[in-house]
Structure 1
Amino acid sequence: MINGKKKVLAGISGGVDSAVSLFLLKERGFEVEAATLNLNISKPALKIAKDICKKYNVRHHIIDASGDFNKKIIGYFLEALEGNKTPSPCLFCNQLVKIPALLDFAQKRKADYIATGHYAKIRKNRGECELVAPKDKDKNQTYFLALLSQKQLSKIIFPLSDLTKKEVYQIAQEQNIKHLPGQSQDLCFVKEKSLADFLAKNIGIKPGRILDTSGRLLGEHKGLHFFTWGQRKGIDLPGGPFWVAGFDKKKNNLIVSNNENEKSFFSKQLELSGVNFISGNSPGKKVKVLVRTRFRQPLVRATLMSRSPASAGWRLIFDTPQKSVAPGQAAVFYNLPEGDICLGGGIIELIK
């Protein structure tokens, strides 16, 4: 943890993590200002954020990043689903909206750092910022930060890095810090009753047929964009459960299977785009890594390979075929053998 009389702009959402982060920064002697990003935030959440700042005599700001959020995150999310990909909005939101908006505003306020309530740790190693697993391994959020750069990480403080979620709640209780109940939402922009309602409103209904892998008609769907590769939920057919096994976009057919060990569900090799290495340097043409393709998924062994010296693309080859890996998901890499340092990540384009 950085110490000293430095000025920090703390992101504050009204949730317990950002609230306790602000308290800890004040306790450690930082000069603190706070900012709430106006990303469809509710009135109750904004009031709580303001009340927390008032409690600790911290100047509060509202940053309107809604334009970038609507275009770069919501627009991307809808486009990915229309393309039958599984989007990764939280990774892109941190990389393209939240962190840049806080850093830009911090510069205007002449703050040295920004702080967020993520469960992650930044460790300096020979002048380089390493993104490291926090004390609370169950809340490890390095997966969602894998697309950040050295420049960004060098200006971030994670006050909760050495605390568990339970300890954060204890601090909030001891300090009588009022905060929003419950956990933060992954899809914070979905204000409708369900994701299906949100998609129906923003993309529409495009009915088609549901077929099994042999081409037998099983039923009808309301649109391919309501489904992602390997999905089980929402396929209400007799003789199930069924999983999404493919998309026939030309004929608007959804392909499903009731065999959870269907060969097509397992992937040995992935093609990646937009690969980011947190160090800022490519590790070479070929490197052994640990990887996860979903948050909280156990780490598995793989080899990361550059497709060619002139290519920006990378290939990931699993030691053992992995189930239900979907295009659009993020593949995030970690060091061997410990798996405690996040090396970076990329977006899955093709699965083989």
Structure 2
Amino acid sequence: MSECQAKRIVVGMSGGVDSSVALLLLKKQGWEPVGVSLELPVWKNPCNELRENACCTSESFANARKVCEKLGVPHYIYDVKRSFERKVIGYFISELSHCRTPNPCLICNRELKIRKLFEWAKRHGIRHVATGHYAKIKIGVKGEACLERAEDGKKDQAYGLCLLPRAWLPKLVLPLGSLTKQQVYEIAIKEGLGFFAQVRQSQDLCFVSGKAMKQFIREKIGKREGEIIDDEGKKVGTHQGLYSYTIGQRHGLGLPFTCFVKCMDAKRNALVVTRERKKLLGREFIVERFNWLCKKPQGKFQAAAQIRSGQREVKVCVVQEKGKLRIVCDAPVEGITPGQICALYKGRRCIGGGRIMRALSE
């Protein structure tokens, strides 16, 4: 590979401030960036407010193109709609159908977004890929690439990357890992990209807005009403489909008293609720399909675990059992949820992640 080719890098462009500043910083560092926006499917229904799904609009592509033109960088749109429907939406619906709470963003990072960026890069003779995620890739003392938490704890997205194949890490560049969100905005304004200050930040899934979610799921799975029962087995109401709920949920249950979703009984199509929040606490759970981002440790070991996005990590003991991990928390944690992803850490380093299979009763 020539020196010129070695400097080329594909930058995933969502049309937002993070990927745009990542592109800007890479160019300043001497890279030769190529902007690539992924065209994803959006549910075509009047109730789906496309404007909230900011990474999939024509406006987002226009913003990405505008930034690339300003910086003298080529920009391409890569149509990955069919792959997204199969890999991400298919996974999302399958997990809900099996009474598990999916985490489509983590699956998307591994199976679609970053995978497709590397695919596009390879097709064009480019080795490296960059994104605007808030995380770090560090090179260890033995030359191995490691995934670490970002400096900005509030924006840290290492959790969202814990399922990436280990082989990708040496070729992945994350320019925002040492910056705060405020610093990113300041760089954007200083460099003439101030229009991002007016761009709304969305928390919706990219293919469907939060307001349209229930209708989207009902269209895909169908209406499956059943009983809501308390933890003594007494019927207290009717649910609209187990896929509409998640463990620990308090609002939207339609009951005349305060309670929390304790679990789903798939065999009975029953939603189990409890009035006692302490009954949501647990200390042990099983994780399957663990993706190691480091050399696999031998035997049991100490680590820190994060069981959902934005949650504080907890100290745990990890016991390896027949291809699965048994996670034993030092203190009880709330809402251990089958289907969610558990990431493990050693200090600031993320050593991998896997799917929570089930909680264990004490």
For this structure pair, what is the TM-score category when the shorter chain's length is used for normalisation? over 0.9
SS at match of 2:100: coil
Residue 186 (structure 1) shift: 5.0
Asked if the contact 1:81–1:228 (Cα under 8 Å) also holds between the matched residues in 2, the reply is no
Residue 183 (structure 1) shift: 2.4
CA distance in 2, matches of 1:249, 1:325: 17
Query: 1:150 matched to which residue of 2?
Result: 166
CA distance in 2, matches of 1:321, 1:171: 42
Query: 2:324 matched to which residue of 1?
Result: 313
Match of 2:334 among 312, 323, 330: 323
Cα-to-partner distance string for 1:309-349 (whole Å, 9 max, x where unaligned) = xx3222111122211111011111011xxx31111111100
Matches within 5 A, 1:86-235: 86-125=101-140, 126-177=142-193, 178-179=195-196, 181-185=199-203, 187-191=205-209, 193-235=211-253
Matches within 5 A, 1:274-293: 274-279=289-294, 281-293=295-307
Cα-to-partner distance string for 1:189-218 (whole Å, 9 max, x where unaligned) = 114733212212222211122111122222
Is residue 2:90 matched to residue 1:75? yes
Matches within 5 A, 1:257-276: 257-262=274-279, 265-276=280-291
Residue 108 (structure 1) shift: 1.7
Larger mean CA deviation between 18-27 and 203-212 belongs to 203-212
Residue 75 (structure 1) shift: 1.0
TM-score by length of 1: 0.92
Larger mean CA deviation between 10-19 and 170-179 belongs to 170-179
Asked if the contact 1:99–1:152 (Cα under 8 Å) also holds between the matched residues in 2, the reply is no
- Counterpart code for 2:86: K
Is residue 2:305 matched to residue 1:294? no
CA distance in 1, matches of 2:331, 2:178: 34
C-alpha RMSD of the superposition? 1.7
CA distance in 1, matches of 2:269, 2:146: 45
- Counterpart code for 1:183: Q
Query: 2:356 matched to which residue of 1?
Result: 348
- Counterpart code for 1:105: W
Matches within 5 A, 1:229-248: 229-240=247-258, 242-248=259-265
Cα-to-partner distance string for 1:70-118 (whole Å, 9 max, x where unaligned) = 1111111111111111111111111111111101111122223111000
Residue 182 (structure 1) shift: 2.8
SS at match of 2:65: helix
SS at match of 1:238: coil
Match of 1:334 among 340, 345, 349: 345
1 or 2, which has the higher helix percentage? 2
Residue 68 (structure 1) shift: 1.9
- Counterpart code for 1:259: E
Asked if the contact 1:90–1:186 (Cα under 8 Å) also holds between the matched residues in 2, the reply is no
CA distance in 2, matches of 1:68, 1:19: 25
- Counterpart code for 1:132: E
Cα-to-partner distance string for 1:282-331 (whole Å, 9 max, x where unaligned) = 11121100111012211111111110xxx322211112221111101111
SS at match of 1:123: strand
CA distance in 2, matches of 1:144, 1:249: 28
CA distance in 2, matches of 1:259, 1:194: 31
SS at match of 1:144: helix
Query: 1:36 matched to which residue of 2?
Result: 37
CA distance in 2, matches of 1:253, 1:149: 37
Asked if the contact 2:166–2:292 (Cα under 8 Å) also holds between the matched residues in 1, the reply is no
Residue ranges of structure 1 left out of the alignment (5+ in a row): none
CA distance in 2, matches of 1:147, 1:253: 32
Count of aligned positions? 340
- Counterpart code for 1:153: L
Q: Aligned in 2, Cα 1:193/1:323: closer, same or farther, shift over 3 Å? A: closer
Cα-to-partner distance string for 1:40-80 (whole Å, 9 max, x where unaligned) = 32111111111111111111111122222111111111111
Residue ranges of structure 2 left out of the alignment (5+ in a row): 42-55
Residue 161 (structure 1) shift: 1.3
Is residue 2:68 matched to residue 1:49? no
CA distance in 2, matches of 1:194, 1:325: 26
TM-score by length of 2: 0.90
Residue 37 (structure 1) shift: 0.7
Residue 150 (structure 1) shift: 2.6
